[in-house]
Structure 1
Amino acid sequence: MERPFTDRREAGRLLAGLLQAYAGRRDVIVLALPRGGVPVAYEIAQALHVALDVLPVCKLGLPWQAELAMGALSSNGAQYVDSSLVRSAGVSEAQLQSAMALARIELGRREVRYRGERAPLAVAGRVAIVVDDGMATGASLKAAALALATLGPARIVAALPVAPAGSQERLGGAVDEFVCARMPEAFYSVGQFYLDFDQVGDDTVRDLLALAAPDDANGEAPG
Structure 2
Amino acid sequence: MIFEDRDAAGRALADDIAQRIPRDGQDRPLVLAMPRGGVPVAVPVAERIGADLDIILVRKIGAPGRPEFGVGAIAEDGPPVFDRSVLKHLGVTEDDLADTVAAERAELARRSRRYRGDRPAPQVTGRTVVLIDDGLATGVTARAALRWLHSRQPRRLILAVPVCSPEARDLLTADADDVVCLYAPEFFRAVGQWYTDFDQLTDTDVDRVLRRVHRATAG
TM over 0.5: yes
Q: Percent identity?
A: 38
5+ residue gaps, structure 1: 216-220
Once residues 127 and 93 of structure 1 are traced to their aligned partners in structure 2, the CA distance between those partners, rounded to angstroms, is 33
TM-score w.r.t. length of structure 2? 0.92
Q: Spell out the pairing of 1:1-223 with structure 2 (5 A cutoff).
A: 2=1, 4-20=2-18, 21-24=20-23, 25=25, 26-171=27-172, 173-213=174-214
Aligned to 1:213, the other structure's residue is in SS state helix
Once residues 131 and 34 of structure 2 are traced to their aligned partners in structure 1, the CA distance between those partners, rounded to angstroms, is 7
Aligned to 1:198, the other structure's residue is in SS state coil
5+ residue gaps, structure 2: none
Letter in 1 for 2:21: Y
Size of the aligned set, in residue pairs, is 216
Once residues 68 and 166 of structure 1 are traced to their aligned partners in structure 2, the CA distance between those partners, rounded to angstroms, is 16
Higher helix share: 2
| Cα displacement (A) at 1:98 | 1.5
Once residues 192 and 76 of structure 1 are traced to their aligned partners in structure 2, the CA distance between those partners, rounded to angstroms, is 32
Aligned 8 A contact 2:74 2:141 in 1: yes
Once residues 215 and 58 of structure 2 are traced to their aligned partners in structure 1, the CA distance between those partners, rounded to angstroms, is 22
Aligned 8 A contact 2:135 2:162 in 1: yes
Greater RCO (CA < 8 Å, at least 6 residues apart): 1
Letter in 2 for 1:206: D
Once residues 93 and 190 of structure 1 are traced to their aligned partners in structure 2, the CA distance between those partners, rounded to angstroms, is 27
Aligned 8 A contact 2:62 2:70 in 1: yes
Aligned CA-pair RMSD: 1.7
**Displacement over 6 Å in runs of 4+:** none
Aligned 8 A contact 1:27 1:125 in 2: no
Letter in 1 for 2:86: L
